[in-house]
Structure 1
């Protein structure tokens, strides 16, 4: 909105009379002596209102559009970036899932699991690792005699035993020694001896598939059946393996994978239950131990496309059945490990089983148990990090997996989880953006906090109630970034609004009012709105004569000197300066900001303007008079004009009435006239009813009053006496009691206040006209104005 020109920028009129056609009071007010322009007032008002609304709504549309566009684009960026390989979302998700487990660890299933620990104490007793294979064979043999259900080796025996006697004999022979071998029964080949023990025991040998070697693995010991798509078609394959000595692998009844690839941050969260080399499938050590303990021979894999399963077009594993246990998996055959954070197995030092005589009490933790042989020795470096702890022996992770499967407590991140997180991100982002344009900053911060809380609570409840892994990271990131970016845009738009408001209203609103608008731009209805206003028109009396005596520069300086204090008076009392019309002022109250007591403010302004005029005349040596008219009513107020230029203004019949009332001040010789709609309820002011006037162009009469002072004047005995006499005078006049009316006027001639002297003189002239030409019967005292 262009700012209203200052008084100095308005062209001054040097010649004016009451019939000067250049004087513009209101758009549809005709000049005296001319008929009002013929136009459809209702259609015109509707056209201007629609135009104003279209212009005024532009700022709000821009505000909403800017906020929504920035928020949606930022959320879209977060969502798309989450699928980038460089995105930290996956790592953050993993940290969240770790937190879930820390808050709600898996309850122990109480499974019969025992870990034979090659600990530092055992190494100290039996010597450095690796021990002779005969020691390992003795440990396995003792557990087999005790009735172990299955024995798993979390280790690889890839090199021959350097302590084996057969190697020493071979070296001696190579050097030319004659060697006499002992009688049959002596153990010469430790590896062959261990292989014989493997063959007689429920042993699962370890195997590691790898990408860095081309050594083929041994044949798997168990068979695989499947329903749906073959796992060979969709599981990623390895190029080679790190395996045990062939004799050991051949003798072991089972072979299981001991390596579980950690995540990028080194934390073990998922393990593959099945892996592929070429066309062969290999189970994890934990799965193979469970198979051995149950005496099963085959795994059954259920894939997409199996009977009863939906074929999504993306082949993947759904579950794997191991004897009596079915384990749900991800499409790549991985299982989320749900850690308990508690001891899941009995721990037995390896040295306690390495002697010929073993403590019989150990049978309680060996017989019928799944036994794992591994190490917790720091020097052997088989330590991993889990969501609950770091430096955990790898063998205990295998124990956790077995206990989890036996307890049937599984974590699931279904294939729809990412879609659900994206959907929640969209919903929460829209929730934040829906409130952001209209709520204050603190409330919006609370809404954003609530959105993040919803994401967090949703993820937590999905885990706590259903063991589902749903992450709040993407929804929280999306809603938070949308809030941050959109809030920044809102701040920029708000600052733009403040500059707009300051530019648009600083010339015709008081600074305090402008500050209120800038603090709360929503209080400004930019466009046309129907609103009750109190309108003021003010004009200098005798300006034409004065302007003829002054040059252009002097006249401009005079007008600026006059309009400045008048404008100050109005703005100090909450008025909006609509426009300057040469020496005239149009102002109104109750828009753009609400002014609940706008009638009172307007009346106070009239009296203050009269006081300011006295000071002006005294300071500048002038003797000008000012006529002020007030009226109140429903007007269309807002940005009115063309698409190229518009002003914040008011139109409507009350505007025209206010302008005509101001013009009537000349006919009554008064400094101010206010309509009955403005005078209503103004009990704190000294008001006198002047007349009932049928204004030009109006069918209904308008009561007009003159304002003489504040409450102190009203409560004075002088005013009370004057009002009583004045009211009797009007009663006589309207009753056509000519003699009583004339007597009242005679009395006023003697002691009436100076500001009313001209009024009573005019009324005496009107009385003479009525005596000569009495009005028709039923006359109610209404005066019909012939001029504006």
Structure 2
């Protein structure tokens, strides 16, 4: 019985310390400890590593202005200098040239033109842009709306380059540790290192990628030209890269590895494709694997490359060339970044070295990989039980030696995994917290062993943990149980989008555009709030609004429909009141979604997630094709009194497999224009003919409607659809539907 109690106490103690370690590992304090103590120790124990072979920096350092007789401030250099540099580099056949320099202002037109021609000549240049945050003011700061917008380089350069991307970094209080791969708060855009990496892979392995796509996405492969140069000339490389990444993400790891094994690609190509697959399946943020102190990555001064002297002809061939400012250019401005290798201010890394590190990590697949949270929790629980097991079975002296050896062995194993395959095992929680706690329990237990009998010893062990620690655990447990991660809700999602916004953004200065958007949303937001909705997301000219609760309520549908109609009226009035037109389209869908925090430890956003949201956005986009303003799904309008609608057909939306029955929301019944009932009745009859596969009769019916009601968008859509691409005659036992993945996408109304 005493043995049973002693074992029970050991198990309870192991559980308590293990649970405390697991809980700490899952919270911000635990992450902070590991980032600020564990990770730096691993970096310093490992030391610097070899410079990446595929990335080279050309730096605008302090000596270049002197050698080239240029102003000290590179921002005042003529852009023809950059054009000469790109032309010089392209003689060495690099894969990608990435300029970590923002060209946001027009300068001397002739020099801008020279730079644009140099950029376009090689079809391999990527430029930098940046994210600017906009906030819609509110009397209550907690209710202010904030969104991020991409600010591109001047058009003549942006159009010449493969594209441009920003490089925002997560906020940090000490050293720079992570970078974003995709910025969800800005619409899920790819960041600068990602586009550099993806363009590099496309340049180096484009034929192999086409062969691989033939297996996993033949439809996408059929749309791509046979060479990368043709791709760069006719399409958006960034857009194609996104499609390829999505095709990769649709594969499981075993499937992908099996495809690569059967493809028999060169090892270098396999390395790049596996890195791209890891990017597609990974999180939106990555930990840097720093190569060492400043200057570790191969770096050449700007003037040396421009003068084209003493350069190895193979130095740049098929590599990524990053061009940017050096930290030593103006050290008094403290513009460098501190890393775990920084000993003092002179050892900080420039922004260009940070970008190069991120790009090289993606290319090599060498980013630091923290253990998944569940694995960390399991590890600290196992460590607690292992130490307690040793203490329970062995004598005091032997247990002390074994605990020391186990601790050293764990540290050595963590160092080995970090060095060999960049896996980051937790150190602070198991070694600095759990091991001392277990050691304290062990010492206390053995000191009491000779003074008390087994019953007192069991009692002492059961009371070892202080009350405040137990209270803290209990409080943390209650906090973990709180539904702060969100909940499943039922309701309506409304997606809106403003037409002509892209054109306006190209022609208007940012301040004027910002003021216009403020007035535009000022007409919409109050209507959502008035009808008891919430704004879930705002990105540029697009908005998501929600009406949802845990239980299904029909009132949400009524409120959302009223809000949609009033938004339509308000936006029409807004467009009549000022010279800039923002015609707005709305899409509504009803169902279940998850509403809560989305993000990671460094950043969360409160938003809805689910197929309902995606479908609402797709429905909104269909307005453009149909020439309508408000489209709602059958799940929104079914059984809903007080509104006049007309059915516009069943559509298989892009990316979907099941058709969605859609209706145009026209007006409340008490505000209906008399022209609508006869038009809707005639359209319904024609649509029934279409759904019955009676194509010729349907076309004649729609043509008759067009003669009586010219300009009706859905009528014109069906006329053009039936004329340009008659539907297939199969599946006659089912109502006809329109698949938006078919060539109907080519229609222009």
TM-score normalized by the length of structure 1: 0.41
Q: Name the structure where helix makes up a greater proportion of residues.
A: 2
TM-score normalized by the length of structure 2: 0.43
